[in-house]
C-alpha cells in the first residue's frame, strides 16, 4: 500500500479534492482516468463520496472506441461502481458548428457529462503535465492572464483531484494496483498540436529544467490570483455600467483598458443563448477602439455584434423577428436578453394615480380589440399618444426616443385596430385607462435571467 500513498496524499491535499456526496468520474479508460477512479474508490469512505463513472463514446475511432467503452464497463463492474456510457456524434456536431473535431469533442463531452451526472461533482483526470501543456499551448497561441492560469482545480461542478500529480505517480499507482488501462491511438498522431507539445516540446523543457512542471504550475497559480483580482474589479464595473433592460454599457471609458477588456469577455460569457464565441485579442481590441471612437460595429461571431452608439456599447445577438406572437398573461419570451411580463388586475386594486395617469405601462384591457400580438414596427404604423389628439408615425417616435441598437428589441403590442403599446414610447390613447376602467393590463420589462 505504501506505493499508493503519494497519489492518495495528492488527492487529499489538493484544491480539487472531492467534497462529500455524489462524485462522478469522467472515465475514458486511459491511464489517468483509470488511476483517478481507483484512487477515489480506495478513498471513498474517507472522503465520504458516492462514487460513479460515466464514459463518453465520441462516435470516432470505430472498433477502438467500442473496446474502450467495454473496458470501462468491465472495470466498474469488477469494483461495483455504478456506470453508464453516453453516445455522442462528434463528427456531425463539428460539421454543423464549424468546429475542429478536438473542440467539438470537448464541447460534447462536458455537455454529456453534465446531463449524465446532474447532481454532485464531476471529476476529470487532468494532471500536472496536462496543466503545463495547457499553459504553453495558450502562450504560443496568444492569451492573457486567464489563459496563463492553466487548468483550474475547480470550475463549477468540475473538479480535478490529480492536478498536482505527475504522470510517473499515476503509472506507479496503477502498477501497484495491478490494473491495466487502454491507450487512445490518436494521442500519438503528430497532426495534433497538443500531441506535438507532449511528445516533442515538453521533453526538451524537462531536460532543461527537471522541475519545469512545478515551476509552470507555481507561475500559473500566481497568475490565477492576479486574474481573480482583476476579474472581481471588472465585475463591479460591469454592474455599475450595464443597463440590463436597454442592454448597453454607459461610462466604460472612465475605467482602465484591462478592466474594459474583461467586461467585454464577461458580457459574451453571459449571452442568454448558447454561443461558441472565442474572440481573439484583436477582436476585443477592435471593440475597445470603437468605444474610444464613440461609434462603430464589430462582428464577433455569427449573429453576435458589438455596436457603439453615441458612446454607449451594446454587445448583443442580432434578432430575427418572425411572425406575430400572441400576447399571453405572465412571461412573454420574444427576445433573448429581456422579457415582457403581462398581468391583469381589477382597477379597484390599483391606486387611482396608476391606472389613470400612467401612460407607459398600463392599458385598459376591455378596450383591446381581438387577440393582442407582439410584432415589429412596420414603416407606416401609427399611434395616437395620450394628450396629443393626432396620429404620428410609430417609427418616428422610436427614432426620437430610443437608441438605434435598442430599436430592434422593443416589445410592441398590436390589436385588430393597430398599435396599442410600445416599450419606451407608451400606451395608445384609445386604450389608456381612465376612471371608468374595470380591468387593467400592466406590462413590465425585465432583463432575462442568465
Over residues 226-266, the pLDDT tens digits come to: 999 999 999 999 999 999 888 899 999 999 999 999 999 99
Instruction: Tell me how far CA of residue 210 lies from CA of 10, 126, 167, 202, 206, in angstroms.
Output: 20, 20, 14, 10, 5
Report the DSSP pairing between strands 158-159 and 154-155. antiparallel
Query: Confidence band (pLDDT; 50, 70, 90) for 2?
Result: very low
226 Cβ partners below 8 Å, 6+ apart? 145
Q: Return the DSSP state at 199.
A: I
If one compares 230 and 147, the residue with the highest pLDDT of the two is 230
Residue 127 · residue 165 · CB < 8 Å: yes
Per-residue confidence (pLDDT) for residue 351, from 0 to 100: 65
328 Cβ partners below 8 Å, 6+ apart? 342
Per-residue confidence (pLDDT) for residue 276, from 0 to 100: 56
Residue 36 · residue 123 · CB < 8 Å: yes
Per-residue confidence (pLDDT) for residue 320, from 0 to 100: 73
Query: Confidence band (pLDDT; 50, 70, 90) for 352?
Result: low
Q: Which three cell numbers stand for residue 16?
A: 480539487
Q: What is the mean pLDDT of residues 127-150?
A: 89
Cα 158 to the chain's mean position, in Å? 14
Q: Which of 364, 375, 370 is nearest to 332 (CA)?
A: 375
Per-residue confidence (pLDDT) for residue 205, from 0 to 100: 92
410 Cβ partners below 8 Å, 6+ apart? 377, 398, 402, 422, 423, 424
Q: Is the pTM of this model over 0.75?
A: no
Q: Which three cell numbers stand for residue 282?
A: 484583436
Query: Confidence band (pLDDT; 50, 70, 90) for 359?
Result: low
If one compares 103 and 362, the residue with the highest pLDDT of the two is 362
Instruction: Tell me how far CA of residue 105 lies from CA of 47, 99, 156, 256, 440, in angstroms.
Output: 31, 9, 20, 37, 52
Please tell me the distance from the alpha carbon of residue 349 to that of residue 385, in angstroms, as a whole number. Answer: 25
Residue 241, classed as helix, strand or coil, is helix
For 390-446, how does the pLDDT look when each residue is reduced to its tens digit (9 = 90+)?
889 999 999 999 998 899 889 999 999 999 999 999 999 999 998 899 999 999 999
Residue % of the chain over a pLDDT of 70: 94
Residue 241 · residue 252 · CB < 8 Å: yes
Instruction: Tell me how far CA of residue 388 lies from CA of 378, 385, 426, 428, in angstroms.
Output: 21, 6, 13, 10
Largest distance between two CA atoms of the chain = 90
CATH fold, domain 2-220, is Rossmann fold (3.40.50)
- Residue 229, judged by CB atoms within 10 A of its CB (0-12, 13-18, 19+), counts as exposed
Residue % of the chain over a pLDDT of 90: 66
Q: What is the mean pLDDT of residues 292-317?
A: 90
Domain ranges of the chain: 2-220, 247-317, 325-447
Residue 150 · residue 16 · CB < 8 Å: no
Q: Which three cell numbers stand for residue 98?
A: 464549424
Q: Which of 260, 272, 199 is nearest to 235 (CA)?
A: 260
Is residue 12 over pLDDT 70?
Answer: yes
Amino acid at each position: 500500500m505504501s506505493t499508493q500513498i503519494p497519489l492518495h496524499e495528492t488527492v487529499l491535499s489538493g484544491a480539487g479534492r472531492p467534497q462529500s456526496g455524489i462524485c462522478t468520474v469522467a472515465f475514458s479508460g486511459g491511464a489517468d482516468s483509470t488511476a483517478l477512479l481507483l484512487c477515489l474508490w480506495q478513498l471513498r469512505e474517507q472522503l465520504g463520496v458516492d462514487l460513479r463513472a460515466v464514459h463518453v463514446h465520441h462516435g470516432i475511432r470505430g472498433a477502438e472506441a467500442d473496446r474502450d467503452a467495454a473496458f470501462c464497463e468491465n472495470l466498474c463492474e469488477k469494483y461495483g461502481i455504478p456506470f453508464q456510457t453516453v453516445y455522442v456524434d462528434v463528427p456531425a456536431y463539428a460539421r454543423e458548428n464549424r468546429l475542429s473535431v478536438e473542440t467539438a469533442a470537448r464541447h460534447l463531452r462536458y455537455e454529456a457529462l453534465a446531463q449524465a451526472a446532474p447532481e454532485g461533482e464531476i471529476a476529470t483526470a487532468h494532471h500536472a503535465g496536462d496543466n503545463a501543456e495547457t499553459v504553453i499551448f495558450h502562450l504560443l497561441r496568444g492569451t492573457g492572464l486567464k489563459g496563463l492560469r492553466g487548468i483550474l482545480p475547480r470550475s463549477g461542478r468540475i473538479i480535478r483531484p490529480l492536478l498536482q500529480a505527475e504522470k510517473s505517480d499515476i503509472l506507479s499507482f496503477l502498477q501497484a494496483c495491478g490494473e491495466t488501462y487502454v491507450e487512445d491511438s490518436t494521442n500519438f498522431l503528430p497532426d495534433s498540436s497538443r500531441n506535438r507539445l507532449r511528445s516533442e516540446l515538453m521533453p526538451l523543457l524537462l531536460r532543461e529544467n527537471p522541475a519545469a512542471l512545478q515551476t509552470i504550475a507555481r507561475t500559473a497559480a500566481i497568475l490565477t490570483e492576479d486574474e481573480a483580482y482583476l476579474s472581481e474589479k471588472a465585475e463591479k464595473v460591469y454592474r455599475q455600467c450595464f443597463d440590463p433592460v436597454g442592454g448597453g454599457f454607459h461610462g466604460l471609458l472612465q475605467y482602465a483598458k484591462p478592466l474594459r477588456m474583461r467586461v467585454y469577455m464577461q458580457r459574451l460569457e453571459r449571452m442568454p443563448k448558447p454561443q461558441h464565441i472565442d474572440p481573439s485579442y484583436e477582436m476585443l481590441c477592435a471593440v475597445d477602439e470603437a468605444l474610444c471612437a464613440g461609434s462603430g460595429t464589430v462582428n464577433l461571431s455569427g449573429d453576435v455584434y458589438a455596436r457603439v452608439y453615441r458612446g454607449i456599447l451594446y454587445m448583443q445577438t442580432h434578432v430575427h423577428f418572425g411572425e406575430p406572437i400572441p400576447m399571453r398573461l405572465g412571461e412573454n419570451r420574444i427576445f433573448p436578453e429581456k422579457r415582457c411580463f403581462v398581468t391583469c388586475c381589477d382597477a379597484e386594486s390599483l391606486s387611482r394615480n396608476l391606472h389613470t395617469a400612467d401612460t407607459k405601462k398600463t392599458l385598459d384591457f376591455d378596450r383591446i380589440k381581438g387577440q393582442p400580438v407582439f410584432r415589429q414596427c412596420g414603416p407606416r404604423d401609427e399611434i395616437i399618444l395620450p394628450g396629443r389628439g393626432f396620429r404620428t408615425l410609430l417609427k418616428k417616435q422610436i427614432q426620437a426616443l430610443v437608441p438605434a441598437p435598442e430599436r430592434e428589441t422593443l416589445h410592441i403590442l398590436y390589436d385588430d385596430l393597430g398599435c396599442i403599446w410600445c416599450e419606451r414610447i407608451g400606451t395608445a390613447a384609445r386604450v389608456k385607462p381612465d376612471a371608468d376602467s374595470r380591468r387593467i393590463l400592466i406590462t413590465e420589462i425585465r432583463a432575462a435571467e442568465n
